[in-house]
């Protein structure tokens, strides 16, 4: 969670929520907590790879699992574009798109040869990011405060800002899916999720406070690199290159992990016949799904060239919120040892739908179009499969769609 989100999500969220930015931050954390709780229950019930793609399929039916998979891919493709643009924006502001495209190509090439982000590298990035964020907060605390404004967004705007900030909490479900690998998961996983979300919320709140104190909400909402602007406005110009480097490291590491993760989801969808079979190929030597990785790189490059940072962050939040909406709906069907607990998944489902639908139209409409086309493709392939089976073996036996 302590990655690129804190460097890019504060500005568009501040533009929407205004002085209610802290409220939006808490709402995003609460929805993330409900989602993580539902995911931990589902992971214990179906300990398989695939997340809500598997949970939706098993609990609600194939079409819901399929929609969860598509929503995940849509959201994470937008996340890839957001991470690439974040690197470009912080590393070379005047040529952000060029840097983003070159980075996507370079990391895809690394992925082709089996290069992955390792645990030690992740640890180093987290330590660097924490140190830099602490420095930003310290500098902000010592700078003169900008007079507080009175600009507060509407209820819808605050909800939309919470949806944007939800992007910055991505990663919390990694803890929730470890339910089958830890001792006493019913006790350990909720504690781990609470500690992780609580710690990250404190860090984000401190950074947001520093941004509002030094820049004011209006300036923060229009900034393309808000944390750089904070240190420069506070007179700590020497810290600006350090902040840019930390942001590029965090976003670059997140992008590599996203490219690897999304390619595996695309591989699973292709193997199940929901995407073209050509995307299901795996390199024999390195065990890498090269066709899927290449296809993802092409889509991400297009998003980088046609979208802006705020739009792709909103699109990412919309897709991922729908993905977790399916997970919460699936969690409603699961009975735990203490009986079926509906309050948390109901809250998670309502929160995901509410935050998702309040995203800006420019972020929501493309996602809706893709989901509609995906449903059409699902219906067509479902009807086509029995006819293809009959024409192949010459019999009148009809196969069933799984």
pLDDT at 388: 39
Q: What Cα–Cα distance (Å) separates residue 264 from each residue in 62, 152, 244?
A: 19, 42, 30
pLDDT of residue 390: 37
DSSP notation for 347-378: HHHHHHHHHHHTS-HHHHHHHHHHHHHHHHHH
If you average pLDDT over residues 97-122, what whole number do you get? Answer: 85
- Burial pattern 317-333, b for ≥16 Cβ within 10 A else e, equals bbbbbbbbbbbbbbbbe
Q: What is the DSSP string of 120-138?
A: HHHHHHHHHHHHHHHHHHH
Pairwise pLDDT comparison (113 vs 150), residue with the higher score? 113
* Rounded Cα gap, residues 320 and 329, in angstroms: 14
Note the pLDDT of residue 185: 67
Has residue 26 got a pLDDT over 60?
A: yes
- Measured distance CA(214)–CA(212) in Å, rounded: 6
- Yes or no: say if 310 and 359 are a contact pair by the CB < 8 Å rule: no
For residue 1, the 8-state DSSP code is: -
Nearest to 92 by CA among 192, 228, 275, 284: 228
Exposure letters 84-118 (e unless 16+ CB within 10 A, then b)? bbbbbbbbeeeebbebbbebbeebbeebbeeeebe
- Give the residue carrying structure tokens 């889509």: 299
Average pLDDT estimate for 135-147:
94
Distance CA 86, CA 4 (A): 7
Distance CA 305, CA 350 (A): 34
Query: SS3 of 235, please?
Result: coil
Say what percent of the chain tops pLDDT 90.
58
**Structure confidence by residue, pLDDT tens digits, 324-343:** 999 999 999 987 655 556 88
Q: Distance (Å, rounded) from C-alpha 4 to C-alpha 138?
A: 20
Q: CA 256 to CA 250: how far, in whole Å?
A: 10
Question: Which ranges of 60-115 does DSSP label H, i.e. alpha helix?
Answer: 62-91, 96-112
Q: Is the pLDDT of residue 293 over 70?
A: yes
CA pair distance 107, 83, nearest whole angstrom: 12
Q: Does domain 5-364 have CATH number 1.20.1740.10?
A: yes
Q: Which residues of 157-166 are buried (b: 16+ CB within 10 A; e: fewer)?
A: bbbbbbbbbb
Across the range 230-255, mean pLDDT stands at: 94
Report, in this order, helix, strand and coil percent for the chain, each rounded to 5: 75, 0, 20
Do 315 and 75 meet the contact criterion of CB atoms below 8 Å apart? yes
Cα Rg, the chain, nearest whole Å? 22
pLDDT, average across residues 27-55: 86
Average pLDDT over residues 265-275: 85
Q: What local confidence, expressed as pLDDT, does residue 402 receive?
A: 38
Q: What does the pLDDT read at residue 389?
A: 39
Q: pTM, whole model, 2 decimals?
A: 0.87
- The mean per-residue pLDDT over the stretch 149-175 comes to 85
Mean per-residue pLDDT, 44-59: 83
| Strand ranges in 240-374 using DSSP code E only, listed in sequence order | none
Q: What is the pLDDT of residue 39?
A: 87
Residue 166 and residue 318: Cα distance in Å, rounded? 10
Q: pLDDT at position 165, please?
A: 95
Who wins on pLDDT, 149 or 320? 320
């Amino acid at each position: 969670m302590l990655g690129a989100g804190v460097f890019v999500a504060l500005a568009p969220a501040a533009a929407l929520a205004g002085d209610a930015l802290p409220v939006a931050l808490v709402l995003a954390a609460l929805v993330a907590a409900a989602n993580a709780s539902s995911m931990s229950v589902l992971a214990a019930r179906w300990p398989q790879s695939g997340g809500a793609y598997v949970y939706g399929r098993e609990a609600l039916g194939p079409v819901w699992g399929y929609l969860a998979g598509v929503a995940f891919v849509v959201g994470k493709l937008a996340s890839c574009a957001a991470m690439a643009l974040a690197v470009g924006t912080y590393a070379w502001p005047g040529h952000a798109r060029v840097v983003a495209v070159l980075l996507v190509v370079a990391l895809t090439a690394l992925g082709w040869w089996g290069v992955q982000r390792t645990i030690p590298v992740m640890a180093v990035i987290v330590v660097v990011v924490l140190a830099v964020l602490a420095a930003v907060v310290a500098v902000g605390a010592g700078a003169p405060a900008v007079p507080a404004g009175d600009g507060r967004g509407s209820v819808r705007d605050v909800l939309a800002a919470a949806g944007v900030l939800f992007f910055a909490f991505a990663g919390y479900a990694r803890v929730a899916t470890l339910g089958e690998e830890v001792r006493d998961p019913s006790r350990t996983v909720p504690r781990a999720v609470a500690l992780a979300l609580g710690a990250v919320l404190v860090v984000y709140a401190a950074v947001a406070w520093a941004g509002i104190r030094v820049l004011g909400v209006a300036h923060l909402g229009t900034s393309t690199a808000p944390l750089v602007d904070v240190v420069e406005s506070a007179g700590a110009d020497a810290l600006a290159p350090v902040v840019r480097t930390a942001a590029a490291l965090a976003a670059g590491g997140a992008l590599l992990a996203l490219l690897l993760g999304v390619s595996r989801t695309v591989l699973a969808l292709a193997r199940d016949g929901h995407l073209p079979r050509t995307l299901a190929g795996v390199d024999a030597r390195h065990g890498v799904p090269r066709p899927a990785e290449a296809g993802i790189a092409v889509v991400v490059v297009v998003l980088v060239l046609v979208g802006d940072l705020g739009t792709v962050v909103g699109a990412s939040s919309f897709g991922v919120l729908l993905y977790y909406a399916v997970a919460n709906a699936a969690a409603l069907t699961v009975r735990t040892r203490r009986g079926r607990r509906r309050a948390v998944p109901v809250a998670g489902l309502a929160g995901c739908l509410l935050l998702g639908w309040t995203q800006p139209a420019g972020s929501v409409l493309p996602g809706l179009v893709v989901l509609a086309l995906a449903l059409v493709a699902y219906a067509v392939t479902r009807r086509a499969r029995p006819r293809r089976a009959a024409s192949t073996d010459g019999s009148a036996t009809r196969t069933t769609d799984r």
